[in-house]
Amino acid sequence: MTLSSFILKNALRNRRRLALSISSVAASLFLLITLQIALRELTNPISDEGSTLRIIVRNKVSLGQPLPARQRQVLEKIPGVAAVSPFTFYGGLYKGDEKFTSFAQFAVDPLRTRELLADARIPQEQYEAWVASQTSCILGRMTAERYGLKVGDRVQFTGQIYPCDLDLTIAGIYQGTADDRNLMFHQKYLDELLGNPGTVGTWWVRAASIAEAPLVTERINRAFANSSAEVRAESERAFVLGFVSMWANIKTLIGGISVVVVFALLLVTVSTMSMAIRERFRELAILKALGFRRRELFAFILAESFGLALAGALLGAGGAWVVFHQLDIQKLTNGLFVMFEVTPRMMGLAFSVAALLGVLAALGPMLTVVRTSVVEGLKTLD
């Protein structure tokens, strides 16, 4: 027997309690990680160079109000504007989906998308095929993979916002953007289906440089001030953040729940450890009599407490890591979350919390060891 096998035997003496305690630590840490992921997904809008360069121009009245197509010529002449494309959210139901389609379909000008989606990678011939055929579309890799779609496949949508259905052929699959999910098709096709109403949903503008982007936004707003269709231009990032700000309260809520989870976890480990040590009160006195010093007894307690917390962390955080790598969270949450990514920081957080618990739960029993003499310990009944 070694000291470590002695510690292990002690820890394993009440297996059911140990299993329950480890499970509750694991479950709580799993929950903590899940909350952290949700928080991150909800509050971290995608931010890359492209999203800072891109400007979304929408109707000042509301996002739902269309903008006149003739604004395009004005926009293109504004200094600092590199490219302009319609950007109309079609919002249809994909044939096969029941209530909700988790990827967006946008009507755009294919000739401008190269500049607007500079980070998108698509084979040249696929791009050219898309430009050439008005009833074709390109699709993000994530969606293509999810639905098992490939170039040449036909995709059909039922209009939910617009009174027309789409029947498109996939000309290409793109990837490399921050969110490879969207479908892009010709604005002209939509216009024709709708009988050329002369409107677009929003404008998608690319500024010539990041430095100029805020100025361009200003200029656009000013250009249409006092016109029949006043606009609100904002960076794509700000546009997304506008949605995200709705989640601000949720952030507080999730933060609060996380604190409660950690606190509950603390109570579980502290009570487990103090139970485990209290029932061995007399044995600790015997060990002392046999010549074990305080520091050795401290080490036993710490090792047991740490072991419990660490086993829980391995199970809970490791479990979260495995589960969220396997799970198709996009499908599960109807597209609310693109992916549930367990970051190293979250794993770090879970293990730090566990380590802290290990120490805190050991403090009480350690104090007991200091306080009780051999004689007092011997007097307690088993």
Of the candidates 12, 46, 225, 367, which one interacts with other proteins according to CB under 8 A?
Answer: 12
375 binds other proteins (CB under 8 A): yes
Closer to other proteins by Cβ: residue 40 or 282: 282
15 binds other proteins (CB under 8 A): no
Nearest distance, CB of residue 277 and other proteins, angstroms: 14
DSSP symbols for 142-195: HHHHHHT--TT-EEEEE-SSSS--EEEEEEEEEB-SSSTT-EEEEHHHHHHHTT
**For residue 155, what are the β-bridge partners?**
168
3 binds other proteins (CB under 8 A): yes
Run of H or E including 58: strand 54-59
Nearest distance, CB of residue 42 and other proteins, angstroms: 48
What residues have CB less than 8 Å from 279, skipping those under 6 apart? none
147 binds other proteins (CB under 8 A): no
The rounded distance, in Å, linking the Cα atoms of 24 and 310 is 12
Q: For the window 188-207, what string marks contact with other proteins as x by the rule CB under 8 A? A: --------------------
DSSP symbols for 286-298: HHHHTT--HHHHH
Residues within window 275-294 making contact with other proteins, judged by CB under 8 A: 282-283, 286-294
The span of 2-10, 62-70, 158-166, 167-175 binding other proteins (CB under 8 A) equals 2-10
373 binds other proteins (CB under 8 A): yes
Residues within window 292-311 making contact with other proteins, judged by CB under 8 A: 292-296
Closer to other proteins by Cβ: residue 3 or 63: 3
User: Given the rule CB under 8 A, which residues bind other proteins?
Assistant: 1-3, 6, 9-10, 12-13, 282-283, 286-296, 373-375, 378, 382
